[in-house]
């Protein structure tokens, strides 16, 4: 079937509306909402959060604001971004894994790290890492082919694949020896310590909570593990003057353009941990939801496969040509943004589009809500990749899977190349379907996780 035929077939049918969790009642008590926030914020938001411009509430002694208008978001993330820092709860939860790395540093320390790291993430630098992405994806496809007779867990396969890509792009070596331990660390942390307890939300940062003692013990084991990976990479060596082989070389060679300073060993370790963790689970989540949506929507899946066939026929899989595949990734991250919530705390008083804000007030910019907001999208809950191909592109303050402004995701280009390439290769190799009809619902725990891992049937094309 040609791309045009598949396209004709799909434009006339009703779009898929994937299942979503029920919305919380708008009159939930403050205590009930806080409990729900700790479990999964996605389940704590009611109708107003999807329909109104700004929803003001209370968060302990402070006000909280959910921002749903591009103007308000531009104000916080661009115009006056220095007044808005990571929240104490966010720092408490992330610091044991990310240390003082780029994601949770602030002020001068952040500026120095950001300008030092920027050259390692330019499109040019990412191009040198693409062969690692291709090899790891091809290996995943070979393994999946061998397992294609029975049900397969594509969520786990995507986690393994993106971890492999994170490991190889970082260190040039495969994750066969360390992947299992790394996965265990991530799972252990995600299942317990990454979920803020009530005390984590209530106590100021300087006051340790019972979870914090466990987090400190975890950090000791985790930094030792990262140190071991770095030592192994160093032992593999690099010829003086040779071009950088991987992100470890790129970040190790990086110098502050203003002072010429390099990262210390501890700083480099925190960047390594940050990039591996910020990069692999988010991309695995995006790929999982894309495969889930395509399994629910076979016509769109065939349209994507037809595009891949057409592009592959011309030789290599040129990402620039994979426009529909990219639109599927964009639309997947609209419906299931891996980073479902961007939270900030006000460092000082301010006014956001007429709303007075006081020091310590909490600002919530939730891609989950924004991307499904009734005022910002037509058919907000429907899966329609075409919306990214035709008409005007969405407002960059209404569609922000990678955030926006000074703290926009440094790995956005890396992630888009990886996800587009992997999805094209996977759907080019297999037809995917679900083996059961039970809905899969999103849960917000650091990223937008599925509430269960559904089994897929995959048929080689
Ligand atoms: C689909 C995949 C990804 C998504 C959806 C995603 C999403 C995001 C978002 C929303 C932010 C901004 C958070 C904020 O403003 O508070 C962010 C920041 C960040 N991301 Fe990503 N990310 C992805 C992949 C990656 C990759 C592959 C890397 C590295 C290899 C990475 C590294 C980072 C870092 C270091 C920051 C902090 C930047 C800063 O504060 O200056 N991310 N990401």
* Alpha-carbon gap, residue 214 to 179, rounded angstroms: 23
Over range 388-408, report the average pLDDT.
94
Quote the ligand 1 centre to 251 CA distance (angstroms): 16
* Alpha-carbon gap, residue 157 to 136, rounded angstroms: 11
Pocket flag, ligand 1, residue 415 (CB < 6 Å): yes
Over range 230-253, report the average pLDDT.
84
Q: With 60 as the cut, is the pLDDT of residue 8 above it?
A: no
Pocket flag, ligand 1, residue 402 (CB < 6 Å): yes
Quote the ligand 1 centre to 94 CA distance (angstroms): 13
Among the ranges given (38-52, 215-229, 359-373), the one the predictor scored with the smallest mean pLDDT: 38-52
Structure confidence at residue 32 as a pLDDT band (50, 70, 90): confident
Quote the ligand 1 centre to 412 CA distance (angstroms): 7
pLDDT at residue 220, rounded to an integer? 95
Q: With 60 as the cut, is the pLDDT of residue 216 above it?
A: yes
Quote the ligand 1 centre to 338 CA distance (angstroms): 10
pLDDT at residue 2, rounded to an integer? 47
pLDDT in tens, 302-316: 999 999 999 999 888
Among the ranges given (29-43, 147-161, 224-238, 446-460), the one the predictor scored with the smallest mean pLDDT: 29-43
Q: With 80 as the cut, is the pLDDT of residue 89 above it?
A: yes
Nearest residue to 101 via CA among 112, 90, 113: 113
Over range 153-165, report the average pLDDT.
95
* Residue 138 vs residue 89, higher pLDDT: 138
pLDDT at residue 239, rounded to an integer? 66
* Alpha-carbon gap, residue 458 to 436, rounded angstroms: 13
pLDDT at residue 204, rounded to an integer? 82
Q: With 70 as the cut, is the pLDDT of residue 139 above it?
A: yes
> Which one of 278, 287, 332 would you pick to mutate in the ligand 1 pocket, going by the greatest count of ligand atoms within 8 A of its CB?
278
Pocket flag, ligand 1, residue 103 (CB < 6 Å): yes
pLDDT in tens, 161-194: 999 999 999 998 888 889 889 989 988 888 788 8
Q: With 60 as the cut, is the pLDDT of residue 5 above it?
A: no
Over range 258-269, report the average pLDDT.
92
As to burial, measured by CB atoms within 10 angstroms (0-12 exposed, 13-18 middle, 19+ buried), residue 85 is middle
Which residue intervals of 147-264 are DSSP H helices? 154-171, 179-188, 198-202, 210-236, 247-253
- Three-class DSSP category at 161: helix
Pocket flag, ligand 1, residue 73 (CB < 6 Å): no
Protein residue whose Cα sits closest to atom 16 of ligand 1: 342
Pocket flag, ligand 1, residue 287 (CB < 6 Å): no
* Residue 2 vs residue 78, higher pLDDT: 78
Over range 416-445, report the average pLDDT.
96
What are the backbone angles phi and psi of residue 381, rounded to the nearest 5°?
-95, 0
pLDDT at residue 240, rounded to an integer? 66
Locate the ligand 1 atom nearest the alpha carbon of residue 418 and give its number.
27
Pocket flag, ligand 1, residue 414 (CB < 6 Å): yes
As to burial, measured by CB atoms within 10 angstroms (0-12 exposed, 13-18 middle, 19+ buried), residue 16 is middle
Quote the ligand 1 centre to 402 CA distance (angstroms): 6
pLDDT at residue 34, rounded to an integer? 73
Q: With 60 as the cut, is the pLDDT of residue 376 above it?
A: yes
- Which residues have C-beta within 8 Å of that of residue 130, sequence separation ≥ 6? 417, 421
Q: Which CATH class is domain 3-460?
A: mainly alpha
ipTM of the complex: 0.99
Cα separations (Å) of 28 from 48, 146, 156, 196, 290? 12, 49, 35, 20, 33
For the chain, domain boundaries: 3-460
Pocket flag, ligand 1, residue 275 (CB < 6 Å): yes
Pocket flag, ligand 1, residue 411 (CB < 6 Å): yes
CA geometry: angle at 349 spanning 347 and 355, to 5°? 120
As to burial, measured by CB atoms within 10 angstroms (0-12 exposed, 13-18 middle, 19+ buried), residue 246 is buried
pLDDT at residue 1, rounded to an integer? 46
Among the ranges given (11-15, 60-64, 119-123), the one the predictor scored with the smallest mean pLDDT: 11-15
Q: With 70 as the cut, is the pLDDT of residue 29 above it?
A: yes
DSSP for 40-58, written as a single string: -GGGT-BHHHHH-SEEEEE
Cα separations (Å) of 103 from 165, 277, 432? 20, 10, 35
């Amino acid at each position: 079937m040609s791309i045009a035929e598949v396209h004709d077939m799909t434009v006339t049918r009703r779009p898929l509306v994937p299942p979503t969790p029920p919305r919380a009642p708008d009159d939930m008590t403050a205590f009930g909402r806080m409990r729900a926030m700790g479990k999964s914020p996605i389940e704590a938001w009611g109708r107003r959060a999807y329909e109104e411009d700004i929803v003001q509430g209370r968060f302990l002694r402070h006000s909280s604001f959910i921002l749903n208008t591009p103007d308000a978001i531009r104000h916080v993330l661009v115009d006056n971004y220095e007044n808005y820092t990571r929240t104490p709860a966010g720092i408490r939860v992330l610091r044991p894994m990310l240390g003082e790395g780029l994601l949770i540093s602030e002020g001068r320390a952040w500026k120095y790290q950001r300008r030092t790291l920027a050259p390692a993430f330019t499109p040019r630098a990412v191009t040198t890492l693409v062969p690692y992405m291709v090899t790891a994806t091809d290996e995943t496809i070979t393994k999946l082919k061998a397992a294609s007779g029975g049900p397969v867990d594509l969520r786990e396969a995507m986690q393994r694949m993106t971890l492999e890509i994170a490991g190889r792009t970082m260190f040039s070596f495969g994750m066969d020896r360390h992947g299992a331990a790394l996965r265990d660390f991530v799972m252990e942390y995600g299942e317990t310590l990454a979920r803020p307890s009530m005390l984590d939300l209530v106590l100021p940062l300087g006051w340790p909570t019972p979870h914090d003692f466990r987090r400190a013990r975890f950090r000791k084991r985790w930094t030792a593990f990262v140190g071991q990976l770095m030592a192994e990479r160093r032992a593999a060596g690099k010829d003086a003057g040779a071009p950088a082989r991987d992100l470890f070389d790129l970040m190790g060679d990086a110098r502050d353009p203003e002072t010429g300073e390099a990262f210390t060993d501890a700083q480099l370790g925190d960047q390594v941990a940050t990039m591996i963790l910020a990069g692999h689970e988010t991309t695995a989540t995006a790929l999982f939801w894309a495969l889930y949506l395509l399994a629910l929507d076979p016509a769109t899946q065939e349209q994507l496969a037809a595009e891949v066939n057409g592009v592959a026929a011309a030789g290599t899989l040129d990402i620039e040509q994979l426009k529909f595949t990219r639109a599927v990734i964009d639309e997947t991250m609209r419906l299931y943004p891996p980073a479902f919530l961007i939270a900030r705390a006000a460092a000082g008083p301010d006014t956001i589009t007429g709303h007075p804000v006081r020091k310590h007030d909490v600002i919530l910019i939730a891609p989950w809500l924004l991307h499904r907001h009734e005022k910002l999208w037509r058919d907000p809950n429907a899966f329609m990749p075409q919306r990214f191909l035709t008409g005007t592109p969405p407002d960059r303050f209404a569609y922000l899977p990678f955030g926006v402004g000074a703290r926009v995701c440094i790995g956005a280009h890396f992630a888009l190349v990886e996800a587009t390439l992997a999805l094209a290769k996977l759907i080019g190799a297999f037809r995917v379907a679900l083996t059961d009809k039970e809905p899969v619902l999103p849960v917000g725990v650091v990223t937008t996780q599925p509430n269960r891992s559904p089994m897929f049937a995959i048929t080689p094309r």
